[in-house]
Structure 1
Amino acid sequence: MAGHSQFKNIMHRKGAQDKKRAKIFARHTREIMVAARSGMPDPEQNSALRNAIIAARAANMPKDNIDRAIKRVAGGEDVANYEEIRYEGYGPGGVAVIVEAMTDNRNRTASEVRAAFSKHGGNMAETGAVSFMFDRVGNILYPADVADADTMFEAAVEAGADNVESNDDGHEIVCDPSEFATVRDALIEKFGNPTELGLVWKPQNTIELDEDKARTMMKLIDALDESDDVGTVSSNYEISDDVMAAIAG
């Protein structure tokens, strides 16, 4: 994919341009409520909640919506009991796929995810079947205009990051999960809030797909994204610029 790092080539998130704002905000509301339930409803005391708030702000979610979600949990309001679930499986060409979802109905979500795999050349597997092919890492994204590549690299490495990739699209900072909060806070203090952040699955190796398998893979991802419960889809496929151009054309 031209203009994208290999990592971004295999990372897919809700919030794509064809998704409606209401669906995006609903997802962030769920993430905020789950994070607030997991600890103190105070972002200064709850790192997961702080991450969720920063991500919501990056999606232009109004402050009132964010505050309302936190207050619903803090006030003990009877709200749906969302939980985080991970599904694993294989897509076209044997690529590994990890689906992370947040749901109040395990049966509904599992059925939707299974149907998406079955319809588009894939199959679900047991938890742990493919995740060993990935590393769990902290990932922080900044737009290109916040700093030049050298400044970002120096700041990120000094904060404890493992790697920084910079191009015309922006800066991608990768760190160990244990260092994530430290790196996040140092970069926010220096550059302000990032456009995206969180713990993600980074593949150790990738599989290049031909045009037919790439088309099917894109359909699988779109089908998974149709589920309101699905938050992120990570995979270890790679698509060449020529194949991507053919698909786009």
Structure 2
Amino acid sequence: NRNRTAGELRRVFEAAGGNLGASGCVSYMFNYKGLFIVDPKHVTEEQLMEVAIEAGADDVDLVEGYFEVTCDPKIFEVVRKALEDHKIPTESAETSYIPTTYVDLDAESGKKMSKLKDSLDENDDVQNVYANDNLPAEIMAN
């Protein structure tokens, strides 16, 4: 039931000191992309770049010790097949909303954001939570 879910989510946001916006109101802050996470112990950056770009991927970046391969979601399966054909295993492969910019949070705001995301994740009607926050290291460790 959409109305019940909207009411529950509105209460979660209000309890966290925020507001539930209109559908799509922050979509301009995210790009919808195919996203593959690859462990560098399985492939060199050069090999991955060659396979991914040849398949049509947009970019290959090293982020927090893992390669992130991004592509247009329309060619997600093409890139997935190219990686599989070249025996390049992925840690994850999904279409996702990727932030265009990130917001650095202090410890207090980071705790609130972490609690908000946990509350959203606990709701059975919520399938995915996308955010553009950079949580402080001490919050990430907990």
TM-score using structure 2 length: 0.86
Aligned to 1:217: 113
Give distance in 1, aligned partners of 2:91 and 2:74: 21
CA 1:191–1:247 in structure 2 vs 1: closer, same or farther (change >3 Å)?
closer
* Partner AA of 1:172 in structure 2: E
Give distance in 2, aligned partners of 1:160 and 1:219: 38
Specify the SS of the correspondent of 2:28. helix
List 4+ stretches of structure 1 deviating above 3 A: 246-249
Give distance in 2, aligned partners of 1:229 and 1:237: 23
Please identify, of 158-167 and 216-225, the stretch whose mean Cα deviation from structure 2 is larger: 158-167
Structure 1 residues 111-162: Cα deviation after superposition (integer angstroms, max 9, x where no partner): 3322221111221111121001211111112233221222112111111111
Specify the SS of the correspondent of 1:125. coil
Structure 1 residues 39-91: Cα deviation after superposition (integer angstroms, max 9, x where no partner): xxxxxxxxxxxxxxxxxxxxxxxxxxxxxxxxxxxxxxxxxxxxxxxxxxxxx
Structure 1 residues 9-48: Cα deviation after superposition (integer angstroms, max 9, x where no partner): xxxxxxxxxxxxxxxxxxxxxxxxxxxxxxxxxxxxxxxx
* Partner AA of 2:78 in structure 1: T
* Partner AA of 2:81 in structure 1: D
Give distance in 2, aligned partners of 1:171 and 1:247: 20
Name the count of aligned residue pairs: 142
Aligned to 1:112: 8
Name the % identity.
36
Alignment of 1:1-249 (within 5 A): 105-166=1-62, 169-191=65-87, 194-239=90-135, 243-245=136-138, 248=141
- Checking the alignment, whether the CA contact within 8 Å between 1:134 and 1:202 is kept in structure 2 is yes
- Checking the alignment, whether the CA contact within 8 Å between 2:55 and 2:82 is kept in structure 1 is yes
Give distance in 2, aligned partners of 1:203 and 1:247: 18
Specify the SS of the correspondent of 1:171. strand
Give distance in 2, aligned partners of 1:181 and 1:143: 19
Give distance in 2, aligned partners of 1:213 and 1:236: 13
Specify the SS of the correspondent of 2:47. helix
* Partner AA of 1:177 in structure 2: P
Structure having the higher helix fraction is 1
Give distance in 1, aligned partners of 2:140 and 2:133: 15
TM-score using structure 1 length: 0.52
Give distance in 2, aligned partners of 1:218 and 1:168: 19
Q: CA deviation at 1:213?
A: 0.7
CA 1:108–1:188 in structure 2 vs 1: closer, same or farther (change >3 Å)?
farther
Aligned to 1:97: none
Superposition CA RMSD, Å: 2.1
Query: Structure 2 regions of 5+ residues with no counterpart?
Result: none
Give distance in 2, aligned partners of 1:146 and 1:230: 34
